[in-house]
Every structure is written in structure tokens, then in C-alpha cells.
Amino acid sequence: MIYSSRRRFIQWGAGIGAASLGGFPYIALGASHKIVIIGGGVGGTTAAGYLKKLDPSLEVTLIEAMPYYYTGFMSNEVVVGERPIDSIKFDYEVLIKMGVRVVIDVASQLNPEKKEVITQGGAKFPFDRCIVSPGIDFKWETIAGYNAQIAEKIPHAWKAGPQTVTLRQQIESLTDGEPVIMIAPPPPYRCPPGPYERASLIAMYLKANKPKSKVIILDMKDNFSKKELFEEGWRHFNYKIEWIPSAEDGVVSHIDPIQKAVYTKEFNTEYKGGVINIIPPQKAGRIAHVADLVDDSGWCPINRKTFESQKHPDIYVIGDAASTSEMPKAAHAANVQGKICAMSILASLRGESLADPTYINVCYSLVEKSYGLSVASVYRYEKSSNLIKTVSMSMSPPLADLPDPGYRKREVEYAHGWFQSIIKDSFLK
Amino acid sequence: MRRIHYNFMILLSLLLSPAYALAEAVVDTLTIHCSSCHSQTAGINATIPSINGLDSQYLARVMMDYKNGKRLATIMDRIARGYSDNEIKQMAEILGRGRFEATTQPINKTLAEQGRKIHQRSLCEKCHEEGGREPEEGVPILAGQRAVYLYYAMEDYQKLDPKTIKNKDLKKMLKSLKELKPEELNALSQFYASNPKGEEE
């Protein structure tokens, strides 16, 4: 290693024998290692790509149930017809070209002792290291009457794909004057500002197309991400959005799907809507539970520097499923974690140690086509507490403090620029 | 080329390029995060600049300006505040050793030609040599940078107060830029965006 501050760096390019790429021999460091990654979202694809990039000799296998991945980010633009669903649909061709073995199948079992993943199709994948990046699952039982089947008709659309389109169609065919009812989950959940971006964009659509309709958000909490900024935006555009927090009887406990009605926990208040969008409370994706990687919180405890599970060695958890302290469950965070995890696995295979990392999260929300908001944070690992601590966190300024009148519009353009970039950096395109 | 390529960078690029056409991947726990937003290969509407391979003095200065609120920004000021001055210097050095990759983007040739004239007339060439291809030290590569970003960067420079700028060259640039109308900025952006390094390299 030539660079002096070597702890910050990963050594590159180990391989078997006098392996040769492009005619150039390079030095061998040992046998090829098998890395199995479960989940083809941003966390899994980023980790797969970076592992392969850092050490092409690794045997990297990515197991994902679906042949396509629809990004949750930007899916709210699909909900209101601002973007076609195909523009958030991605396949795994880039990773395949890089030499990642992509298996479209459900990872149904993960045996930490045998170090093996078994798919629904019966295939077995032994590993030296396994990365679990399954995203979220829903706690269906928290809302009586709601389940995966009913969600086909009363969508959550919190995993983008067919339900995103269903919600789009329902909003389009809403009768003017009927409300859109949204149910927002308690923390922690995927994409903290997401429900409020969705409410904003639906209100934008309603203002132009169904001016007598409004959005009612029944919330299972009393505060939300970027709240002041969202509310300022809602006032700025005269959006019809009614937010009912937990403290004001906002918690929904059951649903009558035939009547298209939801009922609150405290006073059994009935809300009927032309469209109901339920974003249920969440937990780590299924395989994390099957493999005994979760704790009582429903999420996976990890070493927050390396992302290795605290329950089973050589298994790493990244993305929404992991318990990541002050880092939110967000695509950018999953991308960052995928890279750090790739580096930490490489370091561990080589018996090296990684410098304590920094982490970043950037999160854009659109209130309107030309009005974007952001939160940008830098974090550091704190060894003594195993916490990921925020060192710099800030949101877009309120309207009165904008340094430039074009700020909000620029944030929309940067949101779209960010989207293009993160897709590339996650090897989805 | 005055940029120095360290041995390990060369080794790395040799190892990686056949498998996947990546520019030198600089991999450390600090700059590994940059590419989430500053992808080298993002598409034509990417509003965020390509930063790999830019002059390290320039990168360090810009990051410090962001950190100290001396440069207009949406989120880079907030991100820069998360790093020490020393880390910023390190990151700039690492990124500076990378290879700049021109963005393939649609170009309005008429505008680009107008931009070329503005570039010459406004004495941009003095520092942004060869139409921004081979800049002098402390100056970023403009040729092949993303057009939307270039436009915004120049628009933002127009808004700065020259009195707050110490650097003499930058002061001159501000003066020149302030005389340009939006359509001229647009033409200049098209010129620089259209002028990536040629095949001779």
C-alpha cells in the first residue's frame, strides 16, 4: 500500500494465482471468497457492485425475488402522474455485466451455523459472508381488517410497483369532493418524509383536478420529518391537507374495506374516503426474522461500524432492516451503508481493520413541481457507544430565510439529478 | 498532464477497467460517499457536477467556501460543515487524483459557437485554458462538465459581492461574469459542455 494513511483505505485487487485481467498479471492473496447478498434494493445492489469493484475475484451472488426493482424514491411522482412507472423500474443487467451472479428467487432460509442460504426454488448458496438487505415488512396485525390481499385494492404503495399504479388510478378516478385518506405509520419506518411528500403531491393534483377534494392524514405520531417546512409549503400553495396527529385521535385501529372506511383507536371515529392509502407500521423484511437477526424492536441490531449482525457472525445487515441509530431508513442511507459494508467485509476477509467511517444521508421531498425540500446530514461512528452520531444535520431554510429566490426550484432539479446519480452509484443503470 | 498519478491508482485502474469501464475508483471511507450524488456517469440531465479529477486546490477551496458560507449552495454547505478542514484537504487530494470523465450530453451547436466567442472575448481563456480543457492550477476543468451545472455555477458567481472575494483572479472572473446576460451564460455553458478532451489523449 503506497498511500500513507492506510487505515482509511482498502487494498485492492486480490485474486487467485497469477490471475490476469486485460493482460496484466497481478498478485494473488488467497482463495476466492463467496459473498451472498439477499435483496436487490439499493442496499443490496450497491454492496454487490462495490464488492465486485473493490475485488473482482470475489464470487458475489445477489438473490432477489423480483426481476425488476421499482424505486420507492420518486414513486410519489408516479402516484400523481408526473412520471411514468417505467422511469422508476430497473433491472440487474449492470451487475450481471460486472460479474455478479443474480438469482431471481425468494431467499426462504438462511442458516447462520451452516453458512448457507436456501431459496424457495431449492437452490443452496454457501457463503463466507452474507449481506441481508431485505428492506421492510409490514405489521399487518396492527390495523384490524387490513392484510396483504386487501392491500391490492386499498394500497399501501410503500413498496413501489403495481400498487403505485393502483394508487395512481384510484386518485385519477376519484370523484371531486371525496377525500383522500392517508394513514401514516409510527417511527421507525421507511422514508420518514415520504408520506408527507405524497400528501403534498396528491394535494397538488387535487388542486388542479378535483378542487373540492382534500387529503386527510391520520397519523400514528405527533410529529414528522421536515414538518414546519412541509406545512409552510402547504400554506404557500393553499393545499387542502388536514393533518390529524396521534394526540388528536389520529391513530387508526381498524378498517372496513367494503365501506372504504377507517376507524380510530381512541374514539372509534369513522373516516370514509374515495381513496384510502394505508402505510402500515413496519419491521425488518421477512428473511431477517427467519434467520434470527432481529431483536424485540423488530429490526436488526448490528455493529454500526461494520454492519455485522450482533446476533450472528459473518452476517451483515444493511438498509431499512438494520437498526442504524440516528441514520434514517432511506435510499441514500442504504447506498452509503452498502459501500461501507462492502469495505468492512473486504477488510475482514483480509484481516485488516477499517477506519471509523463517516456516513451521509441526503433526502429530497417535493411539495410541488417547482418546490423541493431537503435534509442533508453527515454522521460519524462513535466507538464507545456503537452509535452513528449526527455531526451536521440541516434542512432547507424556511421561505423567509432563503438565500436566493430560485432555491426551492433548484432543489427539485437537484432531486432529479440526485435520482439519476444514485441509480448509477447503486448499479441499477 | 500535470496531474500526478500514484502507482496504486494506475494499478487500480488496470485492475478495474477491463471488468467494468469505471474511471479510477477512489475508495476510502471519506470520498466513497461523493459518488452517491456526483456520479461520473450519470445522465444528461444531471444537475450535479462531475467532480472526480478536478484540480485539488480548487476542490479544497470550494469545499471550504461552502463550509464557511461563502459560496451559494443548497446542500453542499450543510454537508461541508460535517468535515474538518484537514479532512476536506484530504478529500480534495484524493478526488484530484481521479480521472475526469466528460458527460455525453446534447449540445446546441449554434449556442456553443456563440459561447466560444464569449469565452475568447471575456478573457476566460486566460485561466480556463484550451476552452476549459487544460486549466491552470487551482482552476477546474470546464470542458465536458454538465451544462445545467455550469449555467447555475456562473449564475451564482454573478450574485456574489466582489468585495468579499480576496483571490484576484476570481475577482476578475466575477467582474467579467457580471457583464453577461442569461442567454450569454447559456451559450457559454453550451460551449464548455461541448468541448471535452478529444481523441488525441
Task: Quick: pLDDT tens for A97-141.
Answer: 999 999 999 999 999 999 999 999 999 999 999 999 999 999 999
Q: What mean pLDDT is predicted for residues A172-186?
A: 98
Q: How confident is the model at residue A306 (pLDDT cuts 50, 70, 90)?
A: very high
Is the pTM of the predicted complex or chain greater than 0.95? no
Contact B15 A424 (CB under 8 A): no
Cα separation, B53 vs B38, whole angstroms: 12
> How confident is the model at residue A7, as a pLDDT?
45
Q: What mean pLDDT is predicted for residues A301-313?
A: 98
Cell of B141: 476543468
Tell the residue number behind the cell numbers 448499479, with chain if given: A427
Annotate chain B with DSSP letters as a single string.
------HHHHHHHHHHTTTS-PPPPP-BTTGGGGGGTS-SS--TT--SPP-TTS-HHHHHHHHHHHHTT-S--SSHHHHHTTS-HHHHHHHHHHHHTS---PPP----HHHHHHHHHHHHHTTGGGTSHHHHTS--TT----TTS-HHHHHHHHHHHHHS-GGG---HHHHHHHHHHHT--HHHHHHHHHHHHT----TT-
Contact B27 A52 (CB under 8 A): no
> How confident is the model at residue A9, as a pLDDT?
54
Contact A12 B159 (CB under 8 A): no
Asked if B16 reaches chain A (Cβ–Cβ under 8 Å), the answer is yes
Higher pLDDT residue, B196 or A57? A57
Instruction: Please list the pLDDT of chain B residue by residue as tens digits (201 residues).
Output: 333 333 334 344 444 443 333 333 446 889 999 999 999 887 666 789 999 999 999 999 999 999 999 899 999 999 999 999 999 999 999 999 999 988 888 999 999 999 999 999 999 999 999 999 988 899 999 999 999 999 999 999 999 888 888 889 999 999 999 999 999 999 999 999 998 765 433
> How confident is the model at residue B45, as a pLDDT?
64
∠ CA B156-B158-B161 to the nearest 5 degrees? 100
Residue numbers in B near A410 (CB within 8 A): 47, 74, 152
Contact A53 B78 (CB under 8 A): no
Residue numbers in A near B25 (CB within 8 A): 53-54
Contact A21 B12 (CB under 8 A): no
Tell the residue number behind the cell numbers 451564482, with chain if given: B156
Contact A53 B16 (CB under 8 A): yes
Contact A343 B32 (CB under 8 A): yes
Cα separation, B46 vs B147, whole angstroms: 9
A vs B: CB pairs below 8 A: 150
Residue from A305, A353, A420 whose CB has the most chain B CBs within 10 Å, to mutate? A420
Cα separation, A125 vs A283, whole angstroms: 26
Residue numbers in A near B38 (CB within 8 A): 421
Residue numbers in B near A42 (CB within 8 A): none
Asked if B86 reaches chain A (Cβ–Cβ under 8 Å), the answer is no
Q: Which amino acid is at A222?
A: D
3-state secondary structure of A113: coil
| Closest-CA distance of chain B to residue A187, Å | 25
Contact B6 A3 (CB under 8 A): yes
Contact A359 B33 (CB under 8 A): yes
CA A62 to centroid of chain Cα atoms: 17
Mean pLDDT (chain A) is 93
Residue numbers in A near B32 (CB within 8 A): 339-340, 343
> How confident is the model at residue A8, as a pLDDT?
53
Cα separation, A95 vs A101, whole angstroms: 8
> How confident is the model at residue B22, as a pLDDT?
34
| Closest-CA distance of chain B to residue A59, Å | 14
CB atoms within 10 A of CB B160: 18
Contact B36 A417 (CB under 8 A): no
Among A392, A393, A374, A378, which residue's Cα sits nearest to residue A73? A374
3-state secondary structure of A342: helix
Q: Name the closest residue on chain B to residue A305, using Cα atoms.
A: B29
Annotate A118-175 with three-state secondary structure. Answer: EECCCCEEECCEEEECCCEEECHHHCECCCCCHHHCCCCCCCCCHHHHHHHHHHHCCC
Which residues, 6 or more positions from A346, have their beta carbon under 8 angstroms from its beta carbon?
Answer: A10, A51, A54, A55
> How confident is the model at residue A23, as a pLDDT?
31
| Closest-CA distance of chain B to residue A126, Å | 24
Window from A89-103, A336-350, A355-369, B151-165 with minimum mean pLDDT: B151-165
Residue numbers in A near B74 (CB within 8 A): 374, 396, 407, 410-411, 414
Alpha helices in A29-147 (DSSP H): 42-54, 75-79, 93-98
Q: What mean pLDDT is predicted for residues A398-425?
A: 95
Query: Is the bond preceding residue B49 a cis peptide, omega within 30 degrees?
Result: no
Contact A358 B78 (CB under 8 A): no
Asked if B90 reaches chain A (Cβ–Cβ under 8 Å), the answer is yes
Residue from B7, B10, B15 whose CB has the most chain A CBs within 10 Å, to mutate? B15
Contact B48 A418 (CB under 8 A): yes
Among A302, A348, A357, which residue's Cα sits nearest to residue A324? A302
Cα separation, B142 vs B99, whole angstroms: 14
Asked if B164 reaches chain A (Cβ–Cβ under 8 Å), the answer is no
Residue from B37, B52, B71, B103 whose CB has the most chain A CBs within 10 Å, to mutate? B37
Q: What is the ipTM of this complex?
A: 0.91
Contact A392 B152 (CB under 8 A): no
Q: For strand A59-64 and strand A34-38, is the pairing parallel, antiparallel, or unpaired?
A: parallel
> How confident is the model at residue B29, as a pLDDT?
86
Residue numbers in B near A403 (CB within 8 A): 72
Cα separation, A100 vs A120, whole angstroms: 20
What would the pLDDT profile of A234-256 be if each residue is shown by its tens digit? Answer: 999 999 999 999 999 999 999 99
Q: What mean pLDDT is predicted for residues A37-58?
A: 97
Contact A24 B39 (CB under 8 A): no
**Rounded to 5 degrees, what are φ and ψ at A371?**
-140, 100
Asked if B84 reaches chain A (Cβ–Cβ under 8 Å), the answer is no
Alpha helices in A320-392 (DSSP H): 331-349
In the predicted structure, residue A225 carries a pLDDT above the cut 50? yes
Q: Residue A164: beta bridge partners?
A: none
Q: Residue A107: beta bridge partners?
A: A119
∠ CA A345-A350-A356 to the nearest 5 degrees? 55
Tell the residue number behind the cell numbers 461541508, with chain if given: B80
In the predicted structure, residue A26 carries a pLDDT above the cut 90? no
> How confident is the model at residue A31, as a pLDDT?
67
> How confident is the model at residue A76, as a pLDDT?
98
Residue from A27, A97, A98, A360 whose CB has the most chain B CBs within 10 Å, to mutate? A360
Any long-range contacts for A86-93 (C-beta under 8 Å, 24+ apart)?
A: A88/A160, A88/A164, A90/A423, A90/A428, A90/A429, A91/A67, A91/A428, A92/A40, A92/A45, A92/A62, A92/A64, A92/A67, A92/A428
Contact B83 A378 (CB under 8 A): yes
Give the helix/strand (H/E) hosting A25: strand A24-25
Which residues, 6 or more positions from B91, have their beta carbon under 8 angstroms from its beta carbon?
Answer: B30, B31, B34, B59, B63, B83
Burial class (CB in 10 A: 0-12, 13-18, 19+), A104: middle
Contact B15 A357 (CB under 8 A): no
Q: For strand A59-64 and strand A136-138, is the pairing parallel, antiparallel, or unpaired?
A: unpaired
> How confident is the model at residue B166, as a pLDDT?
85
CB atoms within 10 A of CB A359: 27
**Rounded to 5 degrees, what are φ and ψ at A374?**
-145, 160
Contact A2 B38 (CB under 8 A): no
